Amino acid sequence: MSINSIFQFLVPKDKKFFPLFEQAAQNLVFLAQTLHEAVNLPKAEREALFKKVEEYEAIIEDITHTMNLELSRNFLTPFDREDVHALITAMDNVADYLYGAASRMRLYQVEKITKSIRKMTEITLESAQLIQMAVADLKDMKNLQNIADICKKLNKLENKSDNVFDKAVADIFENETDVKNIIKYKEVLSALETASDKCKGVANVLETIAVKHS
């Protein structure tokens, strides 16, 4: 057990870091949910939701900045400092790539949303919801097995996303004749696949924290 872990039993309940983690996780769910809703709408109705995606990404970025400031100001943290930094950074990375997917759809004026894109946003939404559940369980460290189970689910979802991505790209090259559309779809799918991979990155950090406190 680290010195930091020992100290957490001797100080009042954390009132700075966990609220920030919870806010980041909640906004990540909002972002993923908004993006999933957007890709299920006609092009003319997506813009308002894409703007909300941008707003949620900015909120998470601000939370990440605040968290890093708190790390510089506080000696005691709820778990190891490097893990606090790694977790909020990993969550911010997910938000960045989901926003990146939305940005590409806006900039490239993607007209038709494919089933693969909708499926991948569905996978990232489920992943974001699982991350929120795991973050909640970090607060008292009493349900480490549930965190481990969630991490397994996140890994399975990442594998599922990889499969969808591979099939989608193969289908694009086989059936799409417009080179511009090939580039557009490939860019959007790549951003979504990377977002799913970053969810796996969150799982890796969560597993590290759980192991240290088991």
Condensed to tens digits (0 to 9), the pLDDT of residues 50-66 reads 999 999 999 999 999 99
H helix count then E strand count, the chain: 7, 0
Class of CATH domain 14-212? mainly alpha
87 neighbors 205 (Cβ within 8 angstroms): yes
111 neighbors 208 (Cβ within 8 angstroms): no
Distance CA 63, CA 67 (A): 6
The full set of domain ranges for the chain reads 14-212
pLDDT at 142: 79
pTM of the model as a whole:
0.91
Helix (H) / strand (E) element for 189: namely: helix 179-212
| pLDDT single digits (tens) 97-107 | 999 999 999 99
